[in-house]
A and B are shown apart, each in its own frame.
Chain A
Amino acid sequence: MRRLYGFVQRFLRHRRALLLGIGCIPLISLCDIRLTLWFGDALSRLSAKEDPAFLSRLFVLLLGVAAVQGLFRFLARWWIVGVSRRVEVELKQDLFDKLAHLSLAFHVRSRSGDIVSRLTSDVENVRMLIGPGSMYVLGSLFMVPGSLWVLFHISPGVTLAMSFPLLLVAVAMMIMTPRLQRYSMAVQESLADIATHAQESFAGIRVVKGYGLGEHENRRFRAASETNRAHQLDLARARGVQDAWIHLAYDLAFLPILVVGGWAMIDRTLDAGDLFKFVDLGFKVFWPVIALGWIAGLYPRAVASAERIDEVLEQRSEIVEAQSARTLARVEGRLTLREVGFTYEGAARPALGGVTLEVAPGTTLGVVGPTGSGKSTLLNLLGRLFEAQGEVRLDGVPIRELDLDSLRGALAYVPQDSFLFSDTYRANLEFGAAQPLEEAELRRLTREVAMEAEVAAFPNGLEQLIGERGVTLSGGQRQRTCIARALARDPRVLILDDALSAVDTETEARLLANLRQAGKGRTVVVAAHRLTTVRSAEQILVLREGRPEALGTHAELLERSRWYRDTWERQRMTAELEVL
């Protein structure tokens, strides 16, 4: 219950509507009982051969009460279900905001499918229990005791006799629920498996098709589907047993009505109208009793879901802004790194360690090194996407003490994997900018990344939709778009992670020239494999297996770093060989 308390609080934020809605519920039950009593009384009077003249007045009364009841029903549903939907939306928004701010480390270790299901089915489970669920429970709490109380006054014996089977219903529910719970979990999981499998298969369709893995994928999918079917059948069996039990127990309640009530009628202690009341109210408490059981069934699932939601909400981002975070009015772009390192979660060894250096404003730092040597890791630490060991300072302020707006606002980053959104070309560029861009500005950006002609050739120009992750662009076009997006930010510090790997040498030369222009006065940190890209940087850092091997200018490194010299020679040699 404690688990759900926080969610109940969320509902209580809409106290007024909720209380009004809840207030209607006993009135609904009251009307319901009233109707049965009037019908029953009418039968009693008829069996006593009374003049049927009273019927027409009763007719009007019945319809009037039914109309009032209808009004309460409407209001209860409108208020309670309405609040539950509002809470759902608020909860989803909170979750989304949380997710948007949670550190990258969290996102790398979690599966997106799992996260999506927390925002969808888990939220729904909680909403169902606290919203409509509580509506039904409250309804039952008034209807069942109310009806039994009324009936008790007519015939205590019959009432007691019919209460036992009703109790049995509850018992059956309690016994069966855990098992049902298990099976429905299994069903949910197997459904999630199907979704995950399909998701990967579609996202990786090029590899699947390229290797002709269609049959292989079909087989695996079929297996997942079969598993789901097996679990569904298990669940159906358990549910069948539960259903049969509940109905049996419930139907049993009518046996005393028939036998004991009938006997009492023979003895003339009950009349036909009384018997009618028993049967009719018996029918009317059926759904409330079932609803109680249904809610009892929902309860464990909702608690499990609440836990999963809380797990996200209570997740603390490793990247937190300091209490009195400092802002920088004007960023110059001086980067100071002292003994900076990083170890990924679950990794056997640090990906980076012992990096100490300073990048003066407006200068360029090149980062080179073999595959997997920690270049991207270092670049990620600058924007505080991961929390660095050691200390990173921007303009002399440790980035841990800086507010994220100042830090990241001053940065622009071109990721190594060229991620783009499935939106228009224009929207992707504007993603980098603080406000919508002028046409001239957009044109300047596309020109700077040497894409002016290509964008002009798009059938819809800047409004071209570029597909998921930008699939309808070529590799080099994606990469250049990412660079344009970064430049749209007009950043003080520009971080390029191997941002020219997918462009040809001619475009690269143009880009480098443009970037040199654009980079004027900016601090640039650029990771690259082609040493020509970093050759003229003021400083070049050579990383090897996460350790800094050397730091210096191109000329110095040729002296000091063997790896650098060898790589340079190799790249140089192939060039000279080619000329021969």
Chain B
Amino acid sequence: MSADLPDELTEELDKDEVATKAWDSAVLARLWRFARPHRGKFALSFAILAGLFFLELAAPWLLKHAIDGPIAAADAARNASESGELDATPYVHTLLFLGGGYLLIILLAAVFRFLEENQLTRTGQAVVNDLRTHLFAHMQRLELAWFDRHPTGSLVTRVTSDVENLNELFTSGLVVLLFDMIKVAVVLGLLFVVSPTLATLVLLLTPVLVGVSLVFRGGARRAHRSVRARLARTNGYLQEVLSGIRVVQVFRREERVSQRFGAHLAAYLAANFRTILLFALFFPIVAWVTVLIQAGVLLRGGSAILAGDVTLGDFILFWFWLQVFVGPIRELGERYNVLQSAFASAERIFAILDTPPGITTPAAPRALPLPFHGHVRFENVSFAYDARVPVLSELSFEIPPGATVALVGATGAGKSTIVNLLLRFYDPSAGRITLDGIDLRELDPASLRERLGLVLQEDFLFTGSVRDNLVLGRAGVSPESLTRALEASTASDFVRRLPKGLDTELAERGATLSTGERELVAIARALAAGPAMVILDEATSSVDSATEARIEAATHELLRGRSALVVAHRLSTVRRADKILVLHHGKLRESGTHAELLAHGGIYARLHALQFREPDAELRAG
């Protein structure tokens, strides 16, 4: 939360708003792949639009026939008759007949309109639904390092608003745009049929309109993108402050975060004003050009009418078809906008879909042989999150079948990293890890994870009931195993005291439980499915020692004969392990049983001595 310099912020924002191509046929081709399975639906949408278009043209045509037909005839008859008197009945009949035709047309149009809305949505939603689930599933396959790099908020935006933008693309965007082009071409042809002279005039003036639209769209694209990017920033910041509100308040930083939010808002507002200016200019200019075309048609058409080249009906028909012609061109900018923002979204989505999972399994992964032994071997494993900073180097050790191995070491030594590698959240940069003799990279991940009980250092409770959090949709959890796990983790004590027991709803991240209670739930969750192997990373760091001892005794029973990897800072937690590994700066420095290590007199012995040191070494704030 550095000092807030709106200028700096703006600059940084602009860098982020990378320009994309206006019309990206590569993106389009890829989108088509998602649209293809639904091409029948697209064809139907097109047919409906065509029907509607036809009806739209028919109404002015009827008007022309009324004016040039009965009305002109009556006029002529009246002029012909000496008295100026006229029996209007036959003419009115024709007129009524035309009116009937009109009624029929608009009824049909109503039906088509209903179908249009339905069909377009159906089409768009079909594609969007496929794309969204596909995208989500792909993200689930991506490795943890990728998630470390991307803020949760922006990932959520990908599967929500970006996908919705694509929906626009398929509904009001692409299909309609394509159809609009056809419309323009067809109507232009029709205008030539009605009056070639007037149509030529229109053809000459149209480029002005198109030009305005094109100029506008360029600016709109940029403006639009920066509005979106800044809005996303603003919302992301809001989200973060909300999740850290306790820290904000206790440090009395309400003003500071508020100013920073204000800077985000100011940037957002500035971008918005650019958009407003563009649209405020665009709409009036287009309207003016439209009047220019109409006035031109009137000027030219006036003499044509007098010369008898064009009938009055023709002129009126021309006038209203002209509106059908101009409409799509006027909206080109707007549509383009939709299209553009959809393209930007599509790009962001494809960027994710193009990210190959960094952690892959071979096409024919090897399943773990039965019976499962839980024999883990690290062979010369090296690893770094960032190539510049090695975290583990040349690490070799073994968890024999059924043994409990403990990892100890200074903070930041790489203990959790070993857990991350064993879970295959990351792959080692050198060396290999095997489980029951199979390299983790060849192993079917499903077959491993089903057998695993897991407590992570940063565990996570989902919103939902306590029970949901324990079961996690796993088939292996029965009511009995659940009860057993609750007892063993001692979570049953406090769960009983919750207002609705196991069915109590938890707040976000389990915020309504104490930190220790959250750990107990995580332990119960690890035990609930009867795991064949457990990994406990600082599972009881926030639990009091009586509870810890109870958990230890109970899980000892429950996990007899199963392999376990235990990470802990409190040596009391690890002393019963079959083997203790001491990690120092990513290297294995000592290993052996508790007694052996004490006798050895190395790091472990020193750590141990410190744990119950003399009072003078302790916190004395006096």
A226 CB contacts on chain B under 8 angstroms: 129
Of chain A, the residue at the smallest CB distance from B88 is A266
B15 CB contacts on chain A under 8 angstroms: none
Is B619 within 8 A of A408, CB to CB?
A: no
In this complex, the member of A58, A199, A472 whose beta carbon has the largest number of chain B beta carbons within 10 angstroms is A199
Is B276 within 8 A of A82, CB to CB?
A: yes
Of chain B, the residue at the smallest CB distance from A268 is B78
Q: Is A530 an interface residue (CB 8 A)?
A: yes
A61-105 to B contact mask, C-beta < 8 Å, 1/0: 011001101110110011001100110010011001101110010
Question: Which of B26-34, B285-293, B331-339 participates in binding chain A?
Answer: B285-293
Q: Is B281 an interface residue (CB 8 A)?
A: yes
Contacts A115-B242, A205-B147; is A63 near B291 (CB within 8 Å)?
Answer: yes
Contacts A39-B294, A507-B410, A567-B545; is A247 near B109 (CB within 8 Å)?
Answer: yes
Of chain A, the residue at the smallest CB distance from B612 is A575
User: What's the least CB distance linking B159 to chain A, in Å?
Assistant: 5
Is A262 within 8 A of B70, CB to CB?
A: yes
Is B410 within 8 A of A506, CB to CB?
A: yes
B498 CB contacts on chain A under 8 angstroms: 348
Q: Is B363 an interface residue (CB 8 A)?
A: no
Of chain B, the residue at the smallest CB distance from A472 is B148
B516 CB contacts on chain A under 8 angstroms: 371-372, 529
Q: How many A-B residue pairs have CB under 8 A?
A: 543
Is A204 within 8 A of B1, CB to CB?
A: no
Contacts A371-B542, A574-B572; is A222 near B152 (CB within 8 Å)?
Answer: no
Candidates A97, A200, A241, A501; contact of B254 at CB < 8 Å: A97
B234 CB contacts on chain A under 8 angstroms: 92
Is B460 within 8 A of A206, CB to CB?
A: yes
Of chain B, the residue at the smallest CB distance from A450 is B411
Q: Is B241 an interface residue (CB 8 A)?
A: yes
How far does the alpha carbon of A337 sit from the alpha carbon of B265 in the complex, in Å? 42
Q: Is A549 an interface residue (CB 8 A)?
A: no
Q: Is B248 an interface residue (CB 8 A)?
A: yes
B280 CB contacts on chain A under 8 angstroms: 73-74, 77-78, 81
Question: Which of A2-10, A44-52, A140-148 participates in binding chain B?
Answer: A44-52
Is A78 within 8 A of B276, CB to CB?
A: yes
Question: Which of A294-302, A303-311, A362-370 participates in binding chain B?
Answer: A362-370
B517 CB contacts on chain A under 8 angstroms: 371-372
Is B156 within 8 A of A202, CB to CB?
A: yes
Q: Is B180 an interface residue (CB 8 A)?
A: no
A416 CB contacts on chain B under 8 angstroms: 515, 542
Candidates A46, A236, A259, A467; contact of B302 at CB < 8 Å: A46
User: What's the least CB distance linking B316 to chain A, in Å?
Assistant: 6
B113-142 at interface with A (beta carbon < 8 Å): 113-118, 120-122, 125-126, 128-129, 132-133, 136-137, 139-141
Candidates B117, B315, B612; contact of A240 at CB < 8 Å: B117
Candidates A39, A56, A532; contact of B618 at CB < 8 Å: A532
How far does the alpha carbon of A47 sit from the alpha carbon of B152 in the complex, in Å? 69
Q: Is A391 an interface residue (CB 8 A)?
A: no
Is B544 within 8 A of A369, CB to CB?
A: yes
A535 CB contacts on chain B under 8 angstroms: 615, 618
Is B416 within 8 A of A475, CB to CB?
A: yes
Q: Is A55 an interface residue (CB 8 A)?
A: yes
B409 CB contacts on chain A under 8 angstroms: 504
Is A509 within 8 A of B613, CB to CB?
A: yes
Is A211 within 8 A of B454, CB to CB?
A: yes
B102 CB contacts on chain A under 8 angstroms: 254-255, 258
Q: Is B190 an interface residue (CB 8 A)?
A: no
Q: Is B200 an interface residue (CB 8 A)?
A: no
Is B620 within 8 A of A212, CB to CB?
A: no
Question: Which of A11-19, A323-331, A394-402, A510-518 participates in binding chain B?
Answer: A510-518
B388 CB contacts on chain A under 8 angstroms: 459
Q: Tell me the count of chain A residues lying within 8 A, CB to CB, of chain B.
A: 202
How far does the alpha carbon of A85 sit from the alpha carbon of B267 in the complex, in Å? 12
B408 CB contacts on chain A under 8 angstroms: 504
Contacts A99-B242, A100-B257, A206-B456; is A578 near B70 (CB within 8 Å)?
Answer: no
Of chain B, the residue at the smallest CB distance from A464 is B386
Of chain B, the residue at the smallest CB distance from A424 is B2
Candidates B106, B149, B151, B258; contact of A97 at CB < 8 Å: B258
A423 CB contacts on chain B under 8 angstroms: 1-2
Candidates A66, A116, A225; contact of B291 at CB < 8 Å: A66
Of chain B, the residue at the smallest CB distance from A119 is B238
Chain B interface residue number, banded: 35 or more
Contacts A475-B411, A519-B621, A574-B575; is A194 near B160 (CB within 8 Å)?
Answer: yes
Is B114 within 8 A of A244, CB to CB?
A: yes
Of chain A, the residue at the smallest CB distance from B254 is A100
A219-277 at interface with B (beta carbon < 8 Å): 220-222, 225-226, 228-229, 232-233, 235-237, 239-241, 243-245, 247-248, 251-252, 254-255, 258-259, 262-263, 265-268, 272, 275-276
Is A240 within 8 A of B113, CB to CB?
A: yes
Q: Is A153 an interface residue (CB 8 A)?
A: no
Q: Is A556 an interface residue (CB 8 A)?
A: no
Of chain B, the residue at the smallest CB distance from A526 is B619
Is A436 within 8 A of B3, CB to CB?
A: yes
Is B462 within 8 A of A413, CB to CB?
A: no
How far does the alpha carbon of A574 sit from the alpha carbon of B427 in the complex, in Å? 37
Is B66 within 8 A of A221, CB to CB?
A: no
Is B152 within 8 A of A202, CB to CB?
A: yes
How far does the alpha carbon of A216 sit from the alpha carbon of B549 in the complex, in Å? 34
Is B621 within 8 A of A73, CB to CB?
A: no
How far does the alpha carbon of A458 sit from the alpha carbon of B389 in the complex, in Å? 8
B445 CB contacts on chain A under 8 angstroms: 212
Candidates B149, B247, B621; contact of A516 at CB < 8 Å: B621
User: What's the least CB distance linking A569 to chain B, in Å?
Assistant: 10
A315 CB contacts on chain B under 8 angstroms: none
User: What's the least CB distance linking A554 to chain B, in Å?
Assistant: 8
Of chain B, the residue at the smallest CB distance from A410 is B252
Q: Is B98 an interface residue (CB 8 A)?
A: yes
Question: Which of B35-43, B347-355, B373-381, B603-611 participates in binding chain A?
Answer: B603-611
Q: Is B369 an interface residue (CB 8 A)?
A: no
B305 CB contacts on chain A under 8 angstroms: 46-47
Q: Is B546 an interface residue (CB 8 A)?
A: yes
Q: Is A476 an interface residue (CB 8 A)?
A: yes
Is B67 within 8 A of A275, CB to CB?
A: yes
Is B113 within 8 A of A204, CB to CB?
A: no
How far does the alpha carbon of A217 sit from the alpha carbon of B468 in the complex, in Å? 13
Q: Is A108 an interface residue (CB 8 A)?
A: yes
How far does the alpha carbon of A244 sit from the alpha carbon of B575 in the complex, in Å? 77
Of chain A, the residue at the smallest CB distance from B303 is A52
Q: Is A550 an interface residue (CB 8 A)?
A: no
User: What's the least CB distance linking A381 to chain B, in Å?
Assistant: 12
Contacts A203-B460, A247-B110, A567-B544; is A413 near B273 (CB within 8 Å)?
Answer: no
Is A210 within 8 A of B449, CB to CB?
A: yes
Is B320 within 8 A of A42, CB to CB?
A: no
Contacts A70-B285, A218-B136; is A279 near B269 (CB within 8 Å)?
Answer: no
How far does the alpha carbon of A200 sit from the alpha carbon of B541 in the complex, in Å? 24
Q: Is B472 an interface residue (CB 8 A)?
A: yes
Is A383 within 8 A of B250, CB to CB?
A: yes
How far does the alpha carbon of A364 sit from the alpha carbon of B622 in the complex, in Å? 7
How far does the alpha carbon of A151 sit from the alpha carbon of B570 in the complex, in Å? 90
Is A107 within 8 A of B245, CB to CB?
A: yes
A398-422 at interface with B (beta carbon < 8 Å): 404-405, 408-409, 411-413, 415-417, 419, 421-422
How far does the alpha carbon of A529 sit from the alpha carbon of B296 in the complex, in Å? 88
Is A63 within 8 A of B295, CB to CB?
A: yes
User: What's the least CB distance linking A35 to chain B, in Å?
Assistant: 7
For this complex, 13 residue pairs linking A to B, each with C-beta atoms less than 8 Å apart, are: A74-B284, A93-B261, A206-B144, A221-B137, A240-B116, A348-B498, A371-B520, A427-B1, A503-B569, A509-B613, A515-B619, A532-B618, A536-B620
Which 10 pairs from chain A and chain B are nearest by CB? A476-B411, A212-B449, A371-B516, A70-B284, A236-B121, A240-B117, A519-B621, A204-B460, A66-B291, A251-B106
* A-B contact sample (9 more), CB < 8 A, given A70-B288, A225-B133, A475-B416: A78-B277, A196-B463, A221-B136, A229-B128, A272-B316, A371-B517, A436-B2, A502-B541, A532-B612
